[in-house]
Amino acid sequence: MSDDPPLLSRIEAVEDPALERTLGELGLVEDVSVSDGVAAVTLRFDAPYAPDEKAIGDRLREVVRAAGLEPELSAWDGNPDPNNPLESVRNVIPVASGKGGVGKTTVATNLATALAERGATVGLLDADIYGPNVPGMLGVEAEPGLSMSGTLVPPVVDELRVMSMDFLTEGDEDPAMLRGPMVDKLLAELIRDVEWGTLDYLFVDLPPGTGDEQLTLMQHVPVTGAVVVTTPEDIALGDVRKGIRMFLDQGIPVLGLVENMSSFHCPSCGDDHPLYGTGGGEQLATEFDLPLLASIPMDPEIRASGDATTAVTVVEDTPAADQFRQLRDAVTNQVGAVNRAAVADLDPQSSDNPLVEPTQGEKDGREDRTEQHDATS
């Protein structure tokens, strides 16, 4: 028996809580086949280790077990796209900001490490030509290897596959002196000529600004969505706004904002001090209708771990490590929601898409429709 209509309809009736529709309505069930008491369910899910997708998976397992079968869930691999140089990478996620020194590298390395720690296969591409800090922060000592076919094999540190501009511009080359086209060429090489293998997530630590490097990345690979880092003070916000607009102008979703250095938790007096002011992350989130994914305090542990060449999440169980794990969960949930909305062909701009926060007027209209629905059902 290759198909079981009653089971299929029960599976398709399961709700996607983030998109507020059933899996069937969203077209997320690729295949259900039953044999020898096992129901193999293939879903068009693409965010490994996202808590929301795990919860939907758990619900589906209950439904299958209730039908007296053993569930076997898997994610669909998609159609191969020969034009995509990162075809075996499920999600490409730039970590960006319009501004330098806000903690992009800190966020990118800790986020990547926290995901790898969970079991995901993760790559980290350090594309910051002006300050390639990833190898330093993670303590990468190995050089990339060279495969038989001449591609670069990234060194593995803390379970992460790492490539950096730093590896390509060693010796007497001062990367900051390279001309634009040279930078483009190097970045394209880092994307195309690296043996990333199969990855669940590839994080890209982008340089500050809204220039060539960012555009090169976006022209060469399909980007899932960006994580934008800001600090709370007003002066940072103008630059970060430009950073957000750059992605949105290219039609690239912004998964959400991270407010870094939100406050300083004083170890001696126990109080939180807002060294850089308050509310910047919240303000941008409201302005652009984006989720605020995490607020990470200033924590001497974070700086010390950066200098000590270990990400906080692999250090010990510190409050800072917990913040990064929360950020990991929020980011993967957003990746999942964006990918599932794309499968379902929900218009990323339309207010019919629950990922788009409605304006007050639309919200009122929506509530009316709900009432009508209740009245008729």
Q: How far is the CB of 131 from ligand ADP (least distance, A)?
A: 6
Q: How far is the CB of 211 from ligand ADP (least distance, A)?
A: 15
Q: How far is the CB of 169 from ligand ADP (least distance, A)?
A: 17
Residues in the interface with Mg ion (CB under 5 A) total 5
Pattern of binders to Mg ion over 91-120, x per CB under 5 A? -------------xx---------------
Q: How far is the CB of 236 from ligand ADP (least distance, A)?
A: 10
Q: Which of 3, 9, 65, 100 binds ligand ADP (CB under 6 A)?
A: 100
Cα–Cα nearest to 218, from 193, 243, 196: 243
Stretch that binds ligand ADP, among 7-15, 22-30, 179-187, 300-308 (CB under 6 A): 300-308
**Residue 306 found at the interface with ligand ADP (CB under 6 A):** yes
Cα–Cα distance, 92 to 226 (Å, whole number): 8
**Residue 319 found at the interface with ligand ADP (CB under 6 A):** no
**Residue 105 found at the interface with ligand ADP (CB under 6 A):** yes
Pattern of binders to ligand ADP over 241-280, x per CB under 6 A? -------------------xx-------------------
**Residue 106 found at the interface with ligand ADP (CB under 6 A):** yes
Cα–Cα nearest to 124, from 174, 163, 81, 71: 163
Q: How far is the CB of 72 from ligand ADP (least distance, A)?
A: 42
| Residue closer to ligand ADP (CB basis): 105 or 339 | 105
| Residue closer to ligand ADP (CB basis): 101 or 180 | 101
Longest dimension (CA), the chain: 74
Q: Please, what is the angle between helix 280-288 and helix 234-249, to 10°?
A: 30
Stretch that binds ligand ADP, among 10-18, 56-64, 248-256, 295-303 (CB under 6 A): 295-303
Distance of CA 71 to the CA centre of its chain: 28
**Residue 294 found at the interface with ligand ADP (CB under 6 A):** no
Residue 111 partner contact from Mg ion, ligand ADP, none using kind-dependent CB cut-offs of 5 to 8 Å: none
Q: How far is the CB of 88 from ligand ADP (least distance, A)?
A: 27
Those residues with Cβ within 8 angstroms of residue 212's Cβ, 6 or more apart along the chain or in another chain: 180, 183, 184
Residue 197 partner contact from Mg ion, ligand ADP, none using kind-dependent CB cut-offs of 5 to 8 Å: none
Q: Which of 299, 329, 333, 337 binds ligand ADP (CB under 6 A)?
A: 299
Q: Which of 109, 133, 262, 295 binds Mg ion (CB under 5 A)?
A: 133
Q: Which of 103, 132, 256, 280 binds ligand ADP (CB under 6 A)?
A: 103
Report whether 161 contacts 199 (CB < 8 A).
Answer: yes
**Residue 303 found at the interface with ligand ADP (CB under 6 A):** yes
State how beta strands 160-164 and 122-126 pair. parallel
Provide the binding-site residues for ligand ADP, judged by CB under 6 A: 100-106, 131, 133, 260-261, 296, 298-299, 302-303, 306
